[in-house]
């Protein structure tokens, strides 16, 4: 595993009260790490603290945090450092997907961008300097989305927020690798279809096409061990080859001078299907 992961080291997981964040927090605790679970206050955070704390009650703290608010991220960093020590792993995972429309009929664009994009950017900006200064190996995992790469129609605010995460994480890793004596790395975590509270939409049974959080975090850990930057996760419906073709087609809209989102354009549907099947 990455040399930032191991007994006695400190991991912070935002959005850690459910889904992928909760699964990751449990893995870090099981590896002997000290873990901070950060999420909105409430019963879910309390339950997460109990479940992860069952693995290591003396090494787990829960910090109510709204990552959409800069002062709360600063308070999180200060408390973690004071109570657990220097941070080795930061998993910027908190996110929301309430739905959105292009003219913001729901009046939620500010909140989506504040949580999904600025929460990750500010999390890295606030935690990374201390991680670098420690002189120790460090890992920043930013949770993105395939929707931030292929930007399908239907949820523009979410797509924009996750496209921002991709661009920021690429720039962050470039900066880290060019910083003298820096042992901190950043990676872009791109889940596939995962059955979590964020994606359940009222369903109680996992759809056949979805992966479980455990499968997805397994893939994350394996990818980190390989040294991957783009951690592009498959699921039961979409494999790596299909993802690669969808991403290449999206980039081709620019290089081939097609209309934007041509994958969903009536004049290009047949061409896209032929491309996918080739």
Q: Annotated catalytic sites, by residue?
A: 158
3-state class of 62 per DSSP? strand
Number of neighbouring beta carbons within 10 Å of residue 165: 26
Number of neighbouring beta carbons within 10 Å of residue 93: 27
211 vs 43: CA distance, rounded Å = 25
The encoded tokens of residue 209 equal 């096409």
Q: How far is CA 94 from the centre of its chain?
A: 7
The encoded tokens of residue 13 equal 């997981």
Q: What DSSP character marks residue 57?
A: G
Q: Where are the alpha helices (DSSP H) in the chain?
A: 19-30, 43-53, 70-83, 109-113, 119-133, 147-150, 156-177, 197-200, 213-226, 240-255, 269-277
Find out whether 139 and 92 touch, Cβ atoms under 8 Å: no
Strand partners, 61: 36
45 vs 18: CA distance, rounded Å = 8
Number of neighbouring beta carbons within 10 Å of residue 219: 20
Provide the pairing of β-strand 10-14 with 230-232.
Answer: unpaired
The encoded tokens of residue 26 equal 């449990």
């Amino acid at each position: 595993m990455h040399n930032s992961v191991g007994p006695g080291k400190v991991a912070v997981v935002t959005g850690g009260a459910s889904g992928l964040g909760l699964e990751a927090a449990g893995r870090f605790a099981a590896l002997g790490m000290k873990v901070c679970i950060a999420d909105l206050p409430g019963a879910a955070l309390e339950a997460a603290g109990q479940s992860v704390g069952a693995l290591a009650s003396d090494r787990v703290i829960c910090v109510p945090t709204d990552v959409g608010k800069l002062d709360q991220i600063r308070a999180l960093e200060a408390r973690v450092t004071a109570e657990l020590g220097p941070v080795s792993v930061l998993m910027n995972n908190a996110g929301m997907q309430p739905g959105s429309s292009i003219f913001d009929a729901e009046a939620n664009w500010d909140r989506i961008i504040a949580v999904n994009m600025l929460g990750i950017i500010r999390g890295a900006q606030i935690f990374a300097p201390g991680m670098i200064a420690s002189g120790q190996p460090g890992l920043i995992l930013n949770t993105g989305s395939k929707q931030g790469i292929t930007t399908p129609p239907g949820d523009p605010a979410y797509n924009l927020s996750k496209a921002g995460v991709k661009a920021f994480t690429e720039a962050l890793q470039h900066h880290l690798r060019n910083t003298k004596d820096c042992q901190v790395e950043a990676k872009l975590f791109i889940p596939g279809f995962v059955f979590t509270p964020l994606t359940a939409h009222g369903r109680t049974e996992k759809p056949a096409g979805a992966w479980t959080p455990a499968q997805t975090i397994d893939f994350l850990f394996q990818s980190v061990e390989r040294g991957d930057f783009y951690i592009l996760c498959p699921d039961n419906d979409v494999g790596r080859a299909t993802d690669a073709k969808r991403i290449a087609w999206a980039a081709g809209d620019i290089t081939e001078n097609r209309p934007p989102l041509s994958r969903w354009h009536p004049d290009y549907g047949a061409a896209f299907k032929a491309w996918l099947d080739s």
